[in-house]
């Protein structure tokens, strides 16, 4: 069987930064994954491309990232990397929807001027560190409309949060109302949706415009139910990802290959579905 060329649905080109300088809720998840060293040394994009080559990852959706008022990697920085490697990276932007007017202006700049093709949202970030508004809250809706008009998908955090931040807002069931209200909008639930992965699977099976993305969840830990979903009736709804540098490219690809998925399912999960959604 020919090994498919993978497309990683989530990677972040973080600059070098002392682990102690990250906010405590974010630092917590790095320490839990044992990847703090990679975050401290930073991610050289040239090295990232070399690691992608070695792992058989042809492209990656490269994301900016912020928390509260701290930008770990800006939209402009991601745009520079995409310009430097246009055949390898697709830009995904973040905006702070707590401040809707500047956030909408930034989204329009990212799409119209910088060529970004994905909007990434983090419900756990939009609250007070104890609770946060779910994706049905009115603060999200202008951005759903804008993304639908632009024809770009929204990748939104679902499931529990690795950072010490609220998880209830990550219940996948909240996407049910969003998908019904905006059937023109492509919704990608990231991080599999654990511990509500079955709920996320049902939503993806139900809605033509809803997909599941697996970043930060190694395939060796996928449940039997999700393996069946990816191998058969849900094979057109799964996007593989790493959340690099949280997970490395090579071992993450090998974990998927070790599942022995049918050839069609393997091609779709490792990249075919993402390419279709993005129109590549």
pLDDT single digits (tens) 239-268 = 999 999 999 999 999 999 999 999 999 999
> How many domains does the chain fold into?
1
Peptide bond into 216 cis (omega under 30): no
152, pLDDT greater than 90: yes
Residue 261: inside a domain:
yes
Residue 246: inside a domain:
yes
1, pLDDT greater than 70: no
What is the pLDDT at residue 101?
A: 98
137, pLDDT greater than 90: yes
Which residue's entry shows tokens 């019904």?
Answer: 180
Residue 1: inside a domain:
no
What is the pLDDT at residue 222?
A: 97
Which residue's entry shows tokens 């091609």?
Answer: 267
Residue 50: inside a domain:
yes
* Helix/strand/coil (H/E/C) assignment for every residue in 190-214: ECCCCCCHHHHHHHHHHCCCEEEEC
Instruction: Give CA 20 to chain center in angstroms.
Output: 25
What is the pLDDT at residue 14?
A: 83
In which domain, by residue range, is 89 found? 6-278
CA angle 2, 229, 268 (to 5 degrees): 30
Please state, in angstroms and rounded to a whole number, the distance separating the CA atoms of residues 153 and 174. Answer: 17
Which residue's entry shows tokens 């609250």?
Answer: 127
Residue 32: inside a domain:
yes
- Report which of residues 42 and 214 the model is more confident about: 214
Peptide bond into 154 cis (omega under 30): no
pLDDT category of residue 36 using cuts at 50, 70 and 90? low
Beta strand extents in 28-122 (DSSP E only): 57-63, 65-67, 70-73, 89-94, 118-121
What is the pLDDT at residue 243?
A: 95
Q: Residue 227 is part of a domain; what is its CATH number? A: 3.20.20.140
Which residue's entry shows tokens 């703090």?
Answer: 36
Three-state SS at 268: helix
Please state, in angstroms and rounded to a whole number, the distance separating the CA atoms of residues 95 and 46. Answer: 26
CA separation, residue 10 to residues 120, 224, 262, 271 (Å): 10, 23, 24, 12
Beta strand extents in 165-272 (DSSP E only): 187-190, 210-213, 238-239
């Amino acid at each position: 069987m020919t090994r498919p060329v993978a497309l990683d649905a989530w990677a972040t080109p973080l600059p070098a930064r002392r682990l102690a300088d990250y906010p405590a809720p974010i630092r917590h998840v790095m320490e839990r994954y044992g990847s703090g060293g990679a975050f401290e040394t930073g991610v050289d994009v040239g090295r990232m491309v070399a690691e992608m080559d070695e792992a058989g990852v042809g492209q990656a959706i490269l994301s900016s990232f912020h928390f509260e008022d701290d930008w770990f990697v800006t939209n402009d920085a991601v745009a520079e990397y995409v310009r430097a490697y246009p055949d390898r990276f697709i830009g995904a932007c973040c905006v702070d929807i707590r401040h809707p007017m500047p956030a909408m202006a930034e989204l329009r700049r990212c799409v119209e001027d910088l060529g970004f093709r994905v909007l990434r949202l983090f419900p756990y970030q939009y609250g007070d560190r104890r609770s946060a508004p779910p994706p049905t809250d009115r603060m999200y809706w202008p951005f759903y409309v804008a993304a639908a008009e632009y024809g770009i998908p929204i990748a939104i955090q679902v499931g529990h949060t690795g950072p010490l931040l609220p998880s209830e807002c990550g219940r996948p069931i909240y996407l049910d109302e969003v998908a019904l209200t905006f059937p023109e909008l492509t919704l990608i639930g990231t991080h599999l949706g654990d511990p509500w992965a079955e709920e996320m699977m049902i939503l993806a099976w139900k809605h033509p415009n809803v997909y599941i993305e697996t970043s930060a969840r190694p395939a060796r830990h996928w449940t039997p139910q999700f393996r069946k979903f990816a191998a058969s009736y849900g094979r057109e709804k799964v996007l593989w990802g790493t959340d690099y540098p949280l997970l490395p490219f090579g071992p993450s690809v090998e974990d998927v290959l070790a599942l022995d998925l049918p050839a069609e399912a393997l091609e779709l999960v490792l990249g075919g579905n993402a390419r279709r959604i993005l129109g590549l």
